[in-house]
Structure 1
Amino acid sequence: MDPVIVVGAGPVGLTLALALARQEVPTIVLDEGPGKEESRPARTVVLREDTAALLERLTGVPLAREGSQWAAWRSVRRKQVMREVTFGDDEPAPLHIAQHVLTGALREALAAERLVQIAVDSRLDSVEQEASGVTAHTRGPQGTWWRGSHLVGCDGPRSTVRKLLDIRFPGRTAVERHAVATLRAELPWPDEALLHRMPPWRTSGPSAGEVTARPLPDDVWRLDWLLPPGKDLVTPEVLLARVRETLAGWSGGSTPPYELLDTGVHTVHHRLARRWRVGRVFLAGDAAHLLGALGTQGLDEGLRDAGNLAWKLALAWHHGPHDALLDSYQAERRGSVAARLRAADQVLPLLRGGGGLRAYVPGTARGHDALLTDGHLGRGALGAPGVYDVSPLAPRHLEAEVPVGTAPGAQVTDVRVTAEDGSFVRLRDRLGRGALLVVLIAPGTGVWDRKHWVSAGIMPRLAAAVAALPHRAELLVAESYPGAAAHTVLLVRPDGHLVTALSGVRPADLYAAAEATLGGPAPVEAEAEATAGSAAQ
């Protein structure tokens, strides 16, 4: 079987290659660059807890040590604190990390991965596909051709893959622009992120109506100033004036010492590719979507693309064509990103439409700050991760289905579970291995040795039902789960989304749910071919 070809060596492409390798799928990464990441302190990313956990699981690197997990978030309007969020167990902190640090961790993990080959200085020139696979031709010093089972374009906003497939990429240009500066300084609120709207010192250049400060390790901060509409140049003089007056405003009148590390202008576009799959070729990350206004994070969505596609491609690679399963990638991920883009388009006129009567309506300012907080912290319609509740993979008409604290199609809560070998692990630690997860909620099991309960009660019947599922599954036991009663059985996808929760051991419902999650019954012809191929080897 030919490897999967990944075009693009940014965070999304590298994450996808590593996720496939963890499921024993070989990949070739076509990197048009020299294989090294340029250090740009002004390019940083904010990741939600579950996407940060995905990267830590793949790289083995505790990214919280490389980035900053904020202690709190504050929203200020003029001089008044409008909203404060303190992070803890009930409100996990986002992870803020420099993009080159993240990419470096991914490259280091891939260097030790036997199933991944990175071809540097390899720019895609053309793609040919037929029923049996894909051929990619590259140009440059390493120009050649590569044969793959599938190809995934993770090659950014100007995606060559998307253009070769003639896929439209409609949307809006320059929805927002921000001047960016990364600097080292001591600010009055260490380890806290701040959104300051309408700061009272706005004197330099065009009105700086909004500035965001996000901490990084070692007293480094990224500051973003929202720029007014238009194409006015941000000169070095204007940017330095903004830095000085902002730091002075926050520090009580005088500019504290600072070291300027990097600057830039960040322009936000909103676009969504019409199609994310054409035969054996897929799009992911910025090649498929652009978003980022109002504090939302585009890379976070790109990593969700990689997590969603990896287990589906791996299953198809190992077990033959599963068109319904592969088609669900576009249905789930495009639908999720489209919902966030629609939410942003609805909110933008309210937040960026100027003053008028809205400025005098009681509660308006607090409502605006709540919306912006949702975008920055990954909550609500603007920022929350997608729920695949209308997925084509969602099972239908399960008599034993019961509600729990997680909606079907949403990311599961990370609870402590007992694995089949008796060890205690986190639920998220078992994701990304290609297996379905079946979790029994059994209060009290945590205080007993596994040998005392593994053969008692409903466990033997559940173990038999799990062994009979149409795909490899791992049986786990948890003492509790939010909203779940004792003897509730959860079925979880390899990417961590809840399929269903069942009341007790219901083998027929469990099997039907697992079969639906795989896109329906496996094609008989594909199974026969796979069996014949294995016999020939």
Structure 2
Amino acid sequence: MDPVIVVGAGPVGLTLSLALAAQGVPSVLLDEGPGTEEPRPARTVVLREDSADLMGRLGCRELDRVGLRWSGWRSIRRKQLVRNVPLSGGGGAEDDTALTGLLPAPLHVPQHELSAALRAAVDKAPLVQRVPLSRIDTLEQDPDGITVHTREPGSTWWRGSYLVGCDGARSTVRKLLDIRFPGRTAVERHAVAALRAELPWPDEAVLHRQPPWRTGGAEVSARPLPNGVWRLDWLLPPRGELVTPEALITRIRDTLAGWCGETPAYELLDTGVHTLHHRLARRWRKQRAFLAGDAAHLLGAVGTQGLDEGIRDAENLAWKLAHVWHHGPAEHLLDSYQAERRAAVAARLRAADQSLPILRGGGGLRTLVPGAARGHDTLLSDGHLGCGALGAPPSYSHSPLAPPHTEAHAAVGTPPGAPVADVTVTAPDGTTTRLRERLGQGHPLVVLVAPGTGVWDRRHWQTAGVMPRLTDAVAALPGSTELLVTESYPGASAHTVLLVRPDGHLVAAFGGVRPAELFTAARTALGGAPHEAREPVEPGDGESGGDGDGPDTGRGQGSRARVHADGSAGLH
């Protein structure tokens, strides 16, 4: 099959090509630019926990060196501290969020550093062909593939199996597909400065609403980067006058003096004005062509992060294209990309649009309501910290890939469709790792909750309890599936079996080994309708429990159950 054509070599396009390569799918990455990016310290991105983890899995592990995980979040209103939130993993600590009960620290990175790390990983990936100075001007589709033409200086035709437009807000792919891009213009405007200075809150992000100095405006935020660098953002009137350099310098000096008592020594590195728009493409798929990132949506008001959503687009689409590329057409699976991701971004946009009148509506009776300021602060904090309706990772509970609920399903701490908790698991080679480290390899995961496996000798529990029956059930699943074991999972009892999608979202949890229900859920999650699934031969009746001494596990701990191309099952 022809490679996937990815148009646009920004962070989303680079991420998509790397995610495809990790799943054995070649891609041609058409880069409109020369393949480099001018350093702009004032242009930064905030990666939530799931996005930062994906960057690490794709080979960008040095981002913790060029970026910074905040140690805390501080909200101030006028002269009063409203909220002080410590964050897990901040300041380079290796805290386990599940153990500490703290919110995970976002990773704040200059965008040019993120792009450089992704490009370096792409250049090492043999399945990715990056072509600079390649701007498309023609797109043609047929039942077997898609063809695009690039303009001079590298005028040529490219043939691909599918195409993904990751070419930004002014997407050429979206225009060639004649897809509308409605929304709102200039929802928020921010004056931005990157500077090196010593502020009173090392490694903490700060949101200051209604600061008491004259040039503070309605809101100013400070977000730390390594080496004493800070990004400062001042909220501007949506359609105010241009910000002159002199006015911006005055804002900087007044803000630093307001925080430090007097203006400290500082080094100004970069400035700019950032205008935020809210837009959502009507369609994200047209036959063999897809949209992702800013080509499909624009958001960013009240702390929401557009790049985070673009990275989630890439992760969601990559495993679906990989499954189709390796196993043949599955239109229902490809359609689910738009159904899941467009709905998730639309919900984020609705939440932001509903919050804007409350947060930016000015005075009136709202200011007299007890607790109103604290409630407003919580809304803004949610957007910045990646929680609540404005920031939490999406849940695909109403996905067309969700299996029907049955009595065999068990409730755990993760709702169906939500991202799984990053627990410690036993991998196929017998070593321990984090669950997220096993994601993005193109196959679902089956995780058995088996307390005690960490202290028992593997020789005793590999053939004990439910493991032999679960191994047989996993070997019978459609496609390739990896079997893992964990000592515990939030809200799960012993013998619970979790089915996890390749992108880390929970398909279903079962109380014990239920081969028929597990097969149906796996088949549905891979794009097959539930009624199309053939039930495997049951090795036994009813729910399986433990037998013998020791933890309820068994043969195949950490083993990899595969179904070969000829339909035979095997263990590796």
- TM-score range relative to shorter protein: over 0.9
Among 105, 116, 122, the alignment partner of 2:117 is 105
Q: Deviations over 1:136-169 (max 9, x none)?
A: 1000211111000000000000000000111010
1:157 alignment counterpart: 169
Among 208, 213, 232, the alignment partner of 1:196 is 208
Q: Deviations over 1:220-240 (max 9, x none)?
A: 000000001314100000000
8 A Cα contact 1:29 1:116, kept in partner = yes
2:561 alignment counterpart: none
Report the aligned-residue RMSD: 1.3
Task: Say whether residues 1:169 and 2:181 are aligned partners.
Answer: yes
CA shift for structure 1 position 438: 0.2
8 A Cα contact 1:68 1:215, kept in partner = yes
CA shift for structure 1 position 349: 0.5
Residue identity opposite 2:236 in structure 1:
L
8 A Cα contact 2:164 2:289, kept in partner = yes
Q: Deviations over 1:205-250 (max 9, x none)?
A: xx61100000000000000000013141000000000000000110
1:7 alignment counterpart: 7
Task: Measure, in 1, the Cα distance between the counterparts of 2:373 and 2:302.
Answer: 15
Task: Measure, in 2, the Cα distance between the counterparts of 1:451 and 1:309.
Answer: 40
1:235 alignment counterpart: 244
1:401 alignment counterpart: 409
1:294 alignment counterpart: 302
Task: Say whether residues 1:25 and 2:25 are aligned partners.
Answer: yes
Residue identity opposite 2:244 in structure 1:
T
1:54 alignment counterpart: 54
CA shift for structure 1 position 178: 0.2
1:527 alignment counterpart: none
1:370 alignment counterpart: 378
2:447 alignment counterpart: 439
CA shift for structure 1 position 388: 0.2
Residue identity opposite 2:299 in structure 1:
L
Relative to the length of structure 1, the TM-score reads 0.96
CA shift for structure 1 position 410: 0.4
Task: Measure, in 2, the Cα distance between the counterparts of 1:62 and 1:138.
Answer: 34
2:556 alignment counterpart: none
Secondary structure of the corresponding residue to residue 193 of structure 2: strand
Give the paired residue count.
522
CA shift for structure 1 position 38: 1.4
Task: Measure, in 2, the Cα distance between the counterparts of 1:425 and 1:145.
Answer: 44
Relative to the length of structure 2, the TM-score reads 0.90
Q: Deviations over 1:433-471 (max 9, x none)?
A: 001100000000011232321211110000000000011
Residue identity opposite 2:270 in structure 1:
D
CA shift for structure 1 position 521: 5.9
8 A Cα contact 1:6 1:151, kept in partner = yes
1:123 alignment counterpart: 135
Task: Measure, in 2, the Cα distance between the counterparts of 1:162 and 1:345.
Answer: 24
Taking the TM superposition and a 5 Å limit, the aligned residue runs for 1:140-289 are 140-201=152-213, 203-204=214-215, 208-252=217-261, 254-289=262-297
CA shift for structure 1 position 185: 0.4
Taking the TM superposition and a 5 Å limit, the aligned residue runs for 1:419-498 are 419-498=427-506
Q: Deviations over 1:470-496 (max 9, x none)?
A: 110000000000000000000000000
Task: Say whether residues 1:72 and 2:72 are aligned partners.
Answer: yes
1:36 alignment counterpart: 36
CA shift for structure 1 position 430: 0.3
- Using the TM superposition, name which of 511-520 and 207-216 deviates more: 207-216
Among 410, 432, 438, the alignment partner of 2:418 is 410
CA shift for structure 1 position 399: 2.3
CA shift for structure 1 position 398: 2.5
Task: Measure, in 2, the Cα distance between the counterparts of 1:430 and 1:37.
Answer: 32
Task: Measure, in 2, the Cα distance between the counterparts of 1:121 and 1:114.
Answer: 20
CA shift for structure 1 position 110: 0.8
Q: Deviations over 1:26-77 (max 9, x none)?
A: 0000001001121111110001111100011101514222201001000000
2:536 alignment counterpart: none
Task: Say whether residues 1:317 and 2:325 are aligned partners.
Answer: yes
Task: Measure, in 2, the Cα distance between the counterparts of 1:404 and 1:267.
Answer: 42
- Using the TM superposition, name which of 395-404 and 219-228 deviates more: 395-404
2:512 alignment counterpart: 504
Task: Say whether residues 1:84 and 2:84 are aligned partners.
Answer: yes
8 A Cα contact 1:70 1:193, kept in partner = yes
Task: Measure, in 2, the Cα distance between the counterparts of 1:146 and 1:54.
Answer: 29
CA shift for structure 1 position 87: 0.8
Residue identity opposite 1:247 in structure 2:
L
Residue identity opposite 1:61 in structure 2:
R
Task: Measure, in 2, the Cα distance between the counterparts of 1:226 and 1:172.
Answer: 18
Q: Deviations over 1:282-339 (max 9, x none)?
A: 0000000000000111000000000000000000011111000000000000000000
Task: Measure, in 2, the Cα distance between the counterparts of 1:60 and 1:448.
Answer: 36
Secondary structure of the corresponding residue to residue 262 of structure 1: strand
Secondary structure of the corresponding residue to residue 445 of structure 1: coil
CA shift for structure 1 position 397: 3.2
Task: Say whether residues 1:114 and 2:114 are aligned partners.
Answer: no
Residue identity opposite 1:6 in structure 2:
V
Task: Measure, in 2, the Cα distance between the counterparts of 1:416 and 1:60.
Answer: 22
Instruction: State the percentage of identical aligned residues.
Output: 71
8 A Cα contact 1:311 1:434, kept in partner = yes
Runs of 4+ aligned residues of structure 1 deviating over 4 Å after TM superposition are 521-524
2:548 alignment counterpart: none
Secondary structure of the corresponding residue to residue 362 of structure 2: coil
8 A Cα contact 1:162 1:287, kept in partner = yes
Q: Deviations over 1:252-305 (max 9, x none)?
A: 1x1100000001111000000000000000000000000000011100000000
Secondary structure of the corresponding residue to residue 470 of structure 1: coil
Task: Measure, in 2, the Cα distance between the counterparts of 1:397 and 1:53.
Answer: 30
2:149 alignment counterpart: 137
8 A Cα contact 2:60 2:118, kept in partner = no
CA 1:490–1:287 in structure 2 vs 1: closer, same or farther (change >3 Å)? same
- Using the TM superposition, name which of 473-482 and 137-146 deviates more: 137-146
Secondary structure of the corresponding residue to residue 184 of structure 2: strand
8 A Cα contact 1:42 1:180, kept in partner = yes
8 A Cα contact 1:126 1:137, kept in partner = yes
Task: Measure, in 1, the Cα distance between the counterparts of 2:405 and 2:381.
Answer: 38
Among 316, 337, 344, the alignment partner of 1:329 is 337
8 A Cα contact 1:70 1:94, kept in partner = yes
Secondary structure of the corresponding residue to residue 146 of structure 1: strand
Q: Which runs of 5+ in 2 are unaligned?
A: 89-96, 534-564, 567-572
Task: Measure, in 1, the Cα distance between the counterparts of 2:301 and 2:326.
Answer: 39
8 A Cα contact 1:399 1:509, kept in partner = no
Task: Measure, in 2, the Cα distance between the counterparts of 1:453 and 1:60.
Answer: 37
